[in-house]
Structure 1
Amino acid sequence: MPFSDRLRSLSIIDAAALVVALVAVGGVLWSPKLSNTVARATGSIKPVEVTVDVRNTSSADPDGLIADALESGRTTLVVRNQPAGSAELIRVDDIRRKLTSVLPDGSVVTADDPNRTIQGMLDSRFVLRGDANVTSSGVVMAGTKLKVGTPVELEGRFYRVNGIVSGVTLQ
């Protein structure tokens, strides 16, 4: 049977099945997971550590918020109201300001500011680890450039706090 006769014998269902198969193959080739795998193999995706400072955020229970964040182990990043993926939460450091006083004998005494505890303010440094695309212009996480000074929102199950990137370190 010649080739032209075979083409005439194809039905609309056969043509639709061929289109669906081509779309499926195209979806696999342009898959983000495949792109990440290729980027990881070429070395452009590297693990990075990002620190985000959250200051002067009202919270009824700042210690409970931190404990809940550490318990979940991950947090979602939102940059410019766009989800930018999630990152592993390594630790949360306390960065509350200290009161400093010099005594008459010349010694220096420091103490935590008691007003912060009474007012329920959260002052913490969230240390995150994730995979990012490292380019010549900076670190790109989930399609968003992260640089020192970039405002971000950290979102978890029971919290959504505003912070500022204070450090980006390649692992």
Structure 2
Amino acid sequence: MARLVWLRGLSLVDTAAAAIAALALAGVAWSPKLVSTLAKATGTLEPVTVSVDIRQLQVADPETLLQSIRDEGSVKITIRNQPAGRVQLLNVLNLTPPLVAIQPDGRIVEAKDPNQSQRLYVRFLLKAEAESNASGIIFGGTKLKIGVPVDVEGRVFSFRGIVSGVTFP
């Protein structure tokens, strides 16, 4: 009982302040930036290539946009509405499907669709440093798997797409 005498001197305000300080310390210890910094320091991060597919983009000048994205060289990425930082842009591919027609003699002819000249299907190839564990790849404190919604943002664009591939070199 003699040991607990000092507890009688604590007020409700002192207890609340101690609880807030403990929660703040726990928040700092579990922050994604601290976790990723520790992962970098310990060498557990590995390079990973991520493909992000974006469909049905409405763009006035597709070729100019694609060239400006390539010139930028890096993009901001947001995974499941959680900012994950900037990643290196390896390439941007135009995957807009052409019109395909089978001719009476059996030949297959492809042509650009004149009705969808302003709609793009684009694939971003991104290079990032991610942590790998038994449950998958963790990038920016968030699990990154095929099918996860991702926002890709640059200086003049912001697109929402889906992760279509994750590979380790």
| TM superposition score category, shorter chain reference | 0.7 to 0.9
CA deviation map 1:108-155 (0-9, x unaligned): 1112222221xx212110000010011111111101111111111100
> Within the alignment, does 1:52 sit opposite 2:45 as a pair?
no
Q: Which residue of 1 aligns with 2:69?
A: 69
CA deviation map 1:47-97 (0-9, x unaligned): 000000011011112222211111110000112322111110000111111
Cα distance, 1:40 vs. partner? 4.1
Amino acid in structure 2 at the alignment position of 1:55: R
Whether the 8 Å contact between 1:80 and 1:152 is mirrored in structure 2 is yes
Change (3 A) 1:32 1:167: closer
Please list every run of at least 4 consecutive aligned residues from structure 1 whose deviation after the TM superposition is greater than 3 angstroms.
Answer: 30-38, 40-43
Aligned equivalents of 2:95, 2:33: Cα separation in 1: 37
Aligned equivalents of 1:78, 1:32: Cα separation in 2: 13
Q: Which residue of 2 aligns with 1:132?
A: 130
Whether the 8 Å contact between 2:77 and 2:86 is mirrored in structure 1 is yes
Cα distance, 1:41 vs. partner? 5.8
Amino acid in structure 2 at the alignment position of 1:158: V
Amino acid in structure 2 at the alignment position of 1:99: L
> Within the alignment, does 1:167 sit opposite 2:133 as a pair?
no
Whether the 8 Å contact between 1:96 and 1:112 is mirrored in structure 2 is no
User: If you compute each CA radius of gyration, which structure gives the higher value, 1 or 2?
Assistant: 1
Aligned equivalents of 2:80, 2:136: Cα separation in 1: 17
Q: TM-score scaled by structure 1?
A: 0.74
Q: Which residue of 2 aligns with 1:87?
A: 87
Aligned equivalents of 1:41, 1:78: Cα separation in 2: 23
CA RMSD of superposed structures (Å): 2.2
Stretch deviating more after TM superposition (126-135 or 36-45): 36-45
Alignment of 1:81-160 (within 5 A): 81-117=81-117, 120-160=118-158
Identity across aligned pairs (percent)?
Answer: 44
Whether the 8 Å contact between 1:47 and 1:132 is mirrored in structure 2 is yes
Amino acid in structure 2 at the alignment position of 1:129: K
Change (3 A) 1:152 1:37: closer
Aligned equivalents of 1:153, 1:36: Cα separation in 2: 20
Q: TM-score scaled by structure 2?
A: 0.75
